[in-house]
Amino acid sequence: MINDFVKTWIWLMDYYIGSYLDLDVRIMKNFLEKVLYTDELNVVFQRILNDKEKGKISEKIEKRGILLNVIILLDDTYEMICKEEGFILLNKSLDYLINNFLSINWLLAYLLRKDFENGRKSEGNTYQQSDIIIEFLKVIRKENNIRKMIKKDDAEKEENIKIWENVSKYDLKFIKAHVEYLKFLVILLCITESPFYSKQSRMIASQLKNCLKKILVNCRIEKFFMEPNIQYSEEEFGIHTTTKFEMYFIQSNGDRYCLRLDFPHNDVKKIHFNIHEPFRGTAFPIKKYEFQELCDKCPDCDLNDFFYKYGDCYWFKNNFLLKIKEKCKD
């Protein structure tokens, strides 16, 4: 029996045929071999190959075709990262990852800016989710080039290799966590646009997607945890079961936060996000007009001491309450 997500893949492949953004056949085959390889998937895939060979790929950008491209590119990128675990990241691998992330970054930003049904552009943010990871990979490549220029004896080289291997291990963890977040975001996009999910499911996925794309622009994802128990059973397992995922991330100014998705519980009777500093309480970022209202209420206080602006939002700085107490002493 084919589930709704596999049906969505088949549906996306039909749109992929009308997209000029056709990927390498090797990458596509590798992806399809890992998913539920049904007769239906095979038929659509063969149509893609045949049309490509006959030059029937049209020169128009189809948004749903782009979505499938992003899914396959993310899968290819994740596989590449897994292969590199335990090794030093060399320039050949770095170039491959940079090229993949450049494509993913542009294509995903395009999807997040567009309304699928009528093509309306979202206002404000560009929603590029991977700028920080691309710059990070370029820094590693630059360091590799510097190392090659520095001459060392054999003993120093052997010692440095051990250090570089340990550093690469943590670099790959960081890159992997970012890909896991992007895969989650793309799954939400799939559910939002798929005709095989209920209207309510699509609405929830769309709201989650809209929240994530605004909050996590240019953030460094540190860890991403998913609750394996998808059933809601607060009575049996306690309130902790209501948290379905936790994401630890770092804003571009270095402040750390945790974003949680919680199912309904005693205090809040709906699916909702919580955002806080690790081990501390804080609040959701506020909009520009909300920040201005606070400034109007506190004309004698420079609120920039307590908030950090990024994109369309103002974030509560780390140790927010402590900063207020220190300011009040003055």
Chain segment 2-52, per-residue pLDDT in tens: 677 777 777 777 665 555 455 666 776 777 666 655 565 566 566 655 555
* Structure tokens, 282: 């804080």
Amino acid (one-letter) located at 27: I
Report the run of H or E that residue 157 belongs to, with start and end: helix 154-193
313 three-class SS:
strand
* Structure tokens, 25: 């056949």
pLDDT the model gives residue 118:
45
Pick left, alpha or beta for residue 55 (phi over 0 → left; psi -120 to 50 → alpha; otherwise beta): left
Highest mean pLDDT among 31-35, 121-125, 233-237: 31-35
Question: Rounded to an integer, what distance in angstroms lies between the CA atom of residue 124 and that of residue 311?
Answer: 8
Question: Rounded to an integer, what distance in angstroms lies between the CA atom of residue 11 and that of residue 256?
Answer: 39
The residue assigned the tokens 């590029």 is: 128
Question: Rounded to an integer, what distance in angstroms lies between the CA atom of residue 128 and that of residue 112?
Answer: 9
Question: Rounded to an integer, what distance in angstroms lies between the CA atom of residue 18 and that of residue 163?
Answer: 48
Share of the chain above pLDDT 70, in %: 64
Edge-first strand order for the sheet with 286-287 is: 286-287, 313-316, 307-310
Question: Rounded to an integer, what distance in angstroms lies between the CA atom of residue 290 and that of residue 185?
Answer: 27
Question: Rounded to an integer, what distance in angstroms lies between the CA atom of residue 177 and that of residue 223?
Answer: 6
Mean pLDDT, residues 276-303: 72
pLDDT the model gives residue 321:
62
**DSSP-based helix, strand, coil % in the chain, nearest 5:** 60, 10, 30
Q: Within 10 Å of residue 208's Cβ, how many Cβ atoms?
A: 20
